[in-house]
Amino acid sequence: MRSVVIPVSRRSQPVIFAALVGLAGCTQHLNVDAVGPSIIQGVADQVGLKLARVTCPSDPRPIKANDTFDCTADVEGGGALTIAVTQTDDTGNITWKVARTDGLLDLAKVEASIVTGLKTQAQVDATVTCGGKWKAATAGDAFDCEATAPDGTPIPIGVTVTDGEGNVSWETK
């Protein structure tokens, strides 16, 4: 199966859109080339990640409600996404969602873990920021987050990725 690589420089469409329909004989086909730019823009808008490229299957896909296929996306700075694409009707409209992440850490989950830990272990109701929504990370990587106590006192936090599943350990510095 041949793949189509869609570079970031193409203009993106909204997440739900009417894909261009190609005609081959009597069978209408989904314009899979139009899917990548939609994913690039949608991931940037919704998740805050910049994608280096999106690769979708290049085989012709007949227009067919509930047809599904996967695209892969390489994240700038590291990591990858698997994107599940579904044709929502028989006219070429699609939706997509991030089905899997590889090498990416959900910083909201890290922040929530630190908030819970500080409250449980030190009885501090802190706010925590790790500087974004996602971070390319593999086991052994370390980075800093910043907690702030209710009185405004900063609490530096060191975070270490413990495995490829996104688990982390953290400590105050």
pLDDT of residue 26: 60
Q: What is the pLDDT of residues 131-152, one digit of tens each?
A: 988 888 889 999 999 999 999 9
Q: Is the pLDDT of residue 41 over 70?
A: yes
How many Cβ atoms from other residues are within 10 Å of residue 14's Cβ? 10
pTM for this prediction: 0.67
Contact 4, 69 (CB under 8 A): no
Q: What is the pLDDT of residues 79-122, one digit of tens each?
A: 999 999 999 999 989 999 999 888 999 899 999 999 999 999 99
Q: Is the pLDDT of residue 78 over 70?
A: yes
Q: What is the pLDDT of residues 12-40, one digit of tens each?
A: 333 444 444 444 456 789 988 889 999 99
